[in-house]
């Protein structure tokens, strides 16, 4: 896949993630504040605001999975990895990103299957009566987005000499102060 194509996909997906996450967070904050206001002033809780907030949390969770993959902010266990030479780290990181991409796509497949079952059952939310399959579609879509992020990272690792944790994040180590340099001592 040409470098231009992967960069276009990365940039498009990045903007989509940021748009969804930003507006979902703003809407969730607005609904929560509105609900607190109505509960405090009018002694009335907005059940619809609570339900929409729950739906937004699901959306943020799964789109946030993709965002975390893009920013290389996922949890990593690096005790063995850190002991390897750079060429072996590159091989291992390429394997990790490729297999994680496959795992995300596999989970998305099963999530789509679950969404289909919910669709077939005709389940709706209790307050707003929104078809639940629409809400649950955020799970497979977020998993697909994360799978694309990990695929882009694997492609980047195959096409460059450096090691990349994600498409845009190199595997770099910060300098750790040594015990005798006065850092952290009073």
**Residue pair 148/141 in contact by the 8 Å Cβ criterion:** no
Q: Which of 13, 2, 4 is nearest to 166 (CA)?
A: 13
pLDDT of residue 178: 64
Q: Which of 117, 96, 115 is nearest to 163 (CA)?
A: 96
**Residue pair 184/177 in contact by the 8 Å Cβ criterion:** yes
3-state DSSP assignment of residue 164: strand
User: Residue written as tokens 């390897």?
Assistant: 84
Tokens linked to 160: 């460059």
Averaged pLDDT, groups of 10, the chain, 186 residues long: 82 97 98 94 92 97 97 90 94 97 98 98 96 98 98 96 95 67 53
pLDDT of residue 186: 47
Q: Where are the alpha helices (DSSP H) in the chain?
A: 3-41, 47-70, 86-121, 132-136, 138-159
- Residue 46 is inside which H or E element, if any? none
pLDDT of residue 180: 60
Tokens linked to 176: 């750790």
**Residue pair 155/1 in contact by the 8 Å Cβ criterion:** yes
How distant, in Å, are the alpha carbons of 46, 88, 90, 91, 92 from that of 85?
A: 57, 5, 9, 10, 10
pLDDT of residue 75: 87
């Amino acid at each position: 896949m040409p470098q231009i194509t992967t960069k276009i996909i990365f940039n498009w997906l990045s903007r989509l993630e940021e748009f969804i996450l930003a507006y979902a967070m703003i809407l969730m904050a607005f609904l929560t504040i509105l609900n607190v206001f109505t509960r405090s002033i009018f002694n009335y809780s907005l059940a619809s605001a609570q339900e929409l907030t729950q739906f937004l949390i699901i959306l943020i969770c799964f789109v946030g999975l993709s965002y975390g993959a893009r920013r290389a902010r996922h949890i990593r266990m690096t005790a063995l990895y850190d002991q390897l030479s750079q060429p072996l780290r590159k091989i291992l990181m390429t394997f990790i990103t490729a297999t994680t991409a496959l795992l995300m796509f596999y989970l998305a497949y099963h999530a789509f299957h679950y969404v289909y079952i919910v669709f077939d059952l005709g389940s709706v939310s209790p307050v707003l009566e929104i078809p639940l399959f629409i809400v649950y579609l955020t799970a497979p879509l977020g998993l697909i987005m994360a799978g694309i992020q990990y695929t882009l990272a694997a492609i980047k690792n195959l096409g460059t000499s450096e090691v990349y944790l994600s498409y845009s994040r190199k595997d770099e180590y910060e300098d750790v102060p040594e015990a005798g340099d006065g850092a952290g001592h009073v």
